[in-house]
Structure 1
Amino acid sequence: MRITWKVATSLDGRIGTSTGESQWITGPEARAQGHRLRAAHDAVLVGVETVLADDPRLTVRLAAEPELEAKQPLRVVLDSRLRTPSFARIATASTLILTTRDPMPIGEAEVARVAGDGNNRPALEAVLETLVSRGVKSLMIEGGGRVAACFVSAGLVDAIEWFRAPILLGGDGRPGVAALNLARLAHAPQYRRLAVEALGDDLWERYERRS
């Protein structure tokens, strides 16, 4: 499975303010490209903190490009304690919620139990096995910082699609990627820049993992 991490941040790598406000950091051109990227993947994935903070739909919404809008990915939520509200916009029939608890109904979403890691969060290996069993060959991670850090630390992120807005949110803003607990620079995950493109006032940076 090919795994892409898509993130929209400020210049200093923040995905939200200290209070959690994050919509919208980037402009309409960058957001439209984000929708195109969703259409190009079999599934998109977020953690429950993103659901609680932003109430995202994670759908492809491109009225001017109906051929892409028809390509709706499977939506996946990692929710170890089943905190996704039944009224959340993502709690629809095209959503899979993965938990380490006994499943319970959440809106129209499918809820499935997977093996947990040492912190009783869905183990990445179990998550990927579940998605592969459902025919997912390409996955895009859309948030949040802790989920991104887990996949990056495990060496699972093949590509990064980074949208950077010309604003500064400061050290008290929410980081795009959580702690990686690196002791040495040599241990840092390394990526090769493929392209940089202006989208309105924002920059779209594309990276691929170094082999």
Structure 2
Amino acid sequence: MRPKITWKVATSLDGRIGTSTGESQWITGPESRAQGHRLRAVHDAVLVGVETVLADDPRLNTRLPEGETGPDPLRVILDSRLRTPSFARLAKAGTLILTTKDPMQIGTAEVVRVAGDAQGRPTVEAVLETLSARGVKSLMIEGGGRVAASFITAGLVDAIEWFRAPILLGGDGRPGVAALALARLAHAPRYRRLAAEPMGDDLWERYEKVI
């Protein structure tokens, strides 16, 4: 059985995750970021693409407000060409790098080769099969737009946790989700809003997939 998949995204009002130059820290405020860490604590694994690693050098661990505790999830990087630097903050134990190349050592992270698609990127099916074999029952996708699009296109995103900041970044900003190649509205993936609540100056919206 595949993991339940949640896409967590922090954007501007117009759905951008970064400026035209890639600057993205921090779009949302501290309250939204704290809630994002709470979401990490309740997922078995969090996943990003290598572009997020190169742009933001994230830690993807759980850093909760004082008095709250929670476990760190398994950290997963999709890195078809093994571009993750050995000095990256994720290049350590507790990180799984999935690639379509012959594995090589990257810090103390675990590197595993999986099946690739026509573009040489890890297939969604191979990623989920590998994570399921490791006992992952809940997966949260945190970036970037192309990774999100691949799981959405496959119809595998069960829930969305959307943090929306009251700023505008414009059409040249980095989109929260890459192209879905939709020709008709009828083909668009549909979600039902479960809740919306203020999170500091931001808005936190929660959605579930319409079956």
TM-score computed with the length of structure 1 as normaliser: 0.98
1:33 to 32, 35, 55: 35
Give the aligned length.
209
SS at match of 2:69: helix
Provide the residue aligned with 1:188 in structure 2: 188
Report the secondary structure of 1:160's partner residue.
strand
Which residue in 1 is equivalent to 2:177? 177
* Distance across 1 between alignment mates of 2:209 and 2:7: 11
Q: Report deviation, 1:78.
A: 0.1
Which ranges in structure 1 are unaligned for 5 or more consecutive residues?
Answer: none
Indicate the residue corresponding to 1:12 in structure 2.
14
Q: What's the CA shift for 1:25? A: 0.2
Which residue of structure 2 aligns with residue 131 of structure 1?
131
Q: Give the TM-score of the pair, scaled to structure 2.
A: 0.98
Q: Please tell me whether the aligned partners of residues 34 and 65 of structure 2 are also in contact (alpha carbons under 8 angstroms).
A: no
Query: How many Å separate the matches in 2 of 1:72 and 1:52?
Result: 21
* DSSP-derived class of the 1:67 partner: coil
What is the aligned partner in structure 2 of residue 163 from structure 1? Answer: 163
In the alignment, structure 2 segments of 5+ residues that lack a partner are none
CA shift, 1:63, in A, is 4.4
CA distance in 2, matches of 1:63, 1:200: 15
Structure 1 pair 65–135 and aligned structure 2 pair: CA distance change class (3 A): farther
Cα root mean square deviation, aligned: 0.6
**Identity over aligned pairs, percent:** 81
The residue that corresponds to 2:49 in the other structure is 47
Change (3 A) 1:13 1:102: same
Q: Which runs of 4+ in 1 moved over 2 A?
A: none
Q: Post-superposition shift, 1:209?
A: 0.1
Q: 2:84 is aligned with what amino acid?
A: T
Distance 1:63 1:14 in 2: 27
Instruction: Please state whether the residue corresponding to 1:36 is helix, strand or coil.
Output: helix
